[in-house]
């Protein structure tokens, strides 16, 4: 009896670890609706839809094996390949299926900050609203989305201290605006 149970479990494990043979044509609006009901961010939904359309145009999306092969042969960065795999994985999950998704390791590059003269040149040659936004971004070291979330109540106009709401899963922080800004 134990041998039968072990045999059944092994067969079930093999079935689960195999890619589905044919999942049919992807219905991208249904995938987007599934993502919306599972509380995905709207920007994520748009990105996934765009990447699924790209996959549909360039390979047979009804076969996970073809998708894997297309992405493996694509000449792009591992980060782009990882995004394509994640998007296709969401489509597979929305159908209630599972598959063995390949793993692409993203290599982070060290970013170089522009020289102060270049930043100052850009700030001096743009008109008022963008000029102020660039000065604030320079002083606070904030992301553009963090500036859009900034309210007047978050800025102490006498001292220049600013409370920033963090983006990309970071903790909010405090910054100080230059007196001229």
The confidence score (pLDDT) of residue 167 equals 83
The confidence score (pLDDT) of residue 147 equals 84
List, in sequence order, the alpha helices (H) in the chain: 2-17, 28-37, 42-58, 64-73, 78-94, 116-124, 128-140, 144-148
Question: pLDDT tens, 59-86?
Answer: 988 888 899 999 999 999 999 999 999 9
The confidence score (pLDDT) of residue 19 equals 59
What is the rounded distance in angstroms from the CA atom of residue 31 to the CA atom of residue 26?
A: 8
The confidence score (pLDDT) of residue 18 equals 55
The confidence score (pLDDT) of residue 101 equals 87
The confidence score (pLDDT) of residue 12 equals 67
Question: pLDDT tens, 101-116?
Answer: 888 888 777 888 889 8
Instruction: Please list the ranges in the chain whose pLDDT falls under 50.
Output: none
Overall pTM surpassing 0.75 (yes/no) = no
The confidence score (pLDDT) of residue 71 equals 94
The confidence score (pLDDT) of residue 82 equals 94
Map tokens 């049919």 to a residue: 24
What is the rounded distance in angstroms from the CA atom of residue 94 to the CA atom of residue 30?
A: 8
Q: Domain extents for the chain?
A: 16-94, 126-176
């Amino acid at each position: 009896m134990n041998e039968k149970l072990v045999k059944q479990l092994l067969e079930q494990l093999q079935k689960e670890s195999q890619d589905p043979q044919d999942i049919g044509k992807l219905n991208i609006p249904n995938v987007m609706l599934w993502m919306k009901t599972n509380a995905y961010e709207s920007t994520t939904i748009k990105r996934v839809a765009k990447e699924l359309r790209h996959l549909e145009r360039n390979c047979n999306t009804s076969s996970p094996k073809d998708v894997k092969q297309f992405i493996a042969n694509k000449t792009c960065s591992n980060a782009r390949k990882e995004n394509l795999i994640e998007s296709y994985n969401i489509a597979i999950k929305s159908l209630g299926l599972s598959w063995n998704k390949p793993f692409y390791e993203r290599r982070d590059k060290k970013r170089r900050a522009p020289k102060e003269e270049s930043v100052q040149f850009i700030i001096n040659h743009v008109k008022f609203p963008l000029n102020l936004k660039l000065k604030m971004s320079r002083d606070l070291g904030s992301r553009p989305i963090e500036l859009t979330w900034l309210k007047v109540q978050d800025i102490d106009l006498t001292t220049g201290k600013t409370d920033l709401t963090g983006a990309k899963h970071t903790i909010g922080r405090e910054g100080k605006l230059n007196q001229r800004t």
